[in-house]
Amino acid sequence: MNLADNNTTSQEAIREAGGIPPLVALLGAGAESEAAEYAAGALRNLAYNNATNKESIREAGGIPPLVALLDAGAESEAAEYVVQALEDLACDNATNGQAILGVLPSTMPVVLGNEERFVAKLQAVASSRLEAAETGSDVDALERAIERGQAVRLAADVLQRASARVADINSETARKAKRESLGLGHMAPPNEFFCPITFEVMRDPVVASDGNSYERVAIEAVLRSGNSLSPLSREPLASALFPNRNLRQRIVAHEGEVLDFASQAAEVVAGRAVAEVLGEQSEGGGRKRAAELAAGEAGSSAGDAAGGRPKRSRR
């Protein structure tokens, strides 16, 4: 286990000799097994400050069985080695961080309760994933990101904001379906309603220091990125954002007006169609009645003619 401890030459030699997959296989022996405990420790030493080995351990399928060993509890030495291994795997490796987050149980393992540094890393990964999902319109991806955020105990206000975004997407989907059902799918909203980052109609427009309006979650992501330049003017952005309530009200009002107008138009068209059908039925019924009356009169006339002809008497 200690052969690779802070020894780059040994780390490389073990990897090149194919030593990582067998160590990953030993993790399956379970937390009560010394083999799994030593394998977790060895993988921790192999991952320490070695970017290539971090990739190799993930590619060998090492992350899921390592996470599974966390259930052994805080008293388990295997779990202690696992925490160290996972922390080293996630250090400066976003892909590994996402992989670890993806297989964590919904309830955070007790062993992580005192691992503030590692949990903070996982929270940063979960927050980044949540922010990316919020800027899109994929409800499934956003709900998965919320669930992962709950697993690592992200702040309640962050999760509530994401849940509100899910409601917004669902509402927009319903409105879009209604527009299409009314034949308005081709009608695009005014350009000013679109965020220049997401290219979607804004739900929570804010004004940045460059004077332009953006979707809140999108411009906040820009400000957090460390490259806080305006997406439009490329000037440095201040951190302050101001809600554009006027624009928000106009977006909501426009949507309502379009749907109301379309609904009224649909009702008029439907009313005319019903009237035409009733008119045709009435006209057809009138023609049928007239034909019946005419037929009756013709029959009566024929009868009168036959009954009224005088008979010749025989002499």
Alpha carbons within 13 angstroms on the beta-carbon side of residue 280 total 5
Give residue 309's pLDDT.
Answer: 47
Strand order in the sheet with 242-243: 213-215, 205-207, 242-243
Q: Which helix (H) or strand (E) holds 163?
A: helix 156-181
Q: Which amino acid type is present at position 80? A: E
Q: Which domains does the chain have, with CATH numbers?
A: 1-155 (1.25.10.10)
| Per-residue tokens: 79 | 């779990």
Give residue 282's pLDDT.
Answer: 64
Per-residue pLDDT tens listing for the chain (315 residues): 566 666 889 999 999 999 999 999 999 998 888 999 999 999 999 999 999 999 999 999 999 999 999 887 777 788 889 999 999 999 999 999 999 999 999 888 877 877 888 999 999 999 999 988 988 889 999 999 999 999 999 999 999 989 998 998 898 888 778 777 777 666 778 999 999 998 988 989 999 999 999 999 899 989 988 788 999 999 999 999 999 999 999 998 988 887 777 667 666 666 676 666 666 666 655 566 666 666 666 555 545 554 554 444 444
Q: Of the candidates 118, 5, 98, 119, which has an alpha carbon nearest to the alpha carbon of residue 53?
A: 5
Give residue 299's pLDDT.
Answer: 54
Give residue 296's pLDDT.
Answer: 62
Strand segments, DSSP code E, in the chain are: 205-207, 213-215, 242-243
Q: In this structure, are residues 105 and 142 in contact, taking their beta carbons and an 8 Å threshold?
A: no
Give residue 130's pLDDT.
Answer: 92
Measured between its terminal Cα atoms, the distance across the chain in Å is 147
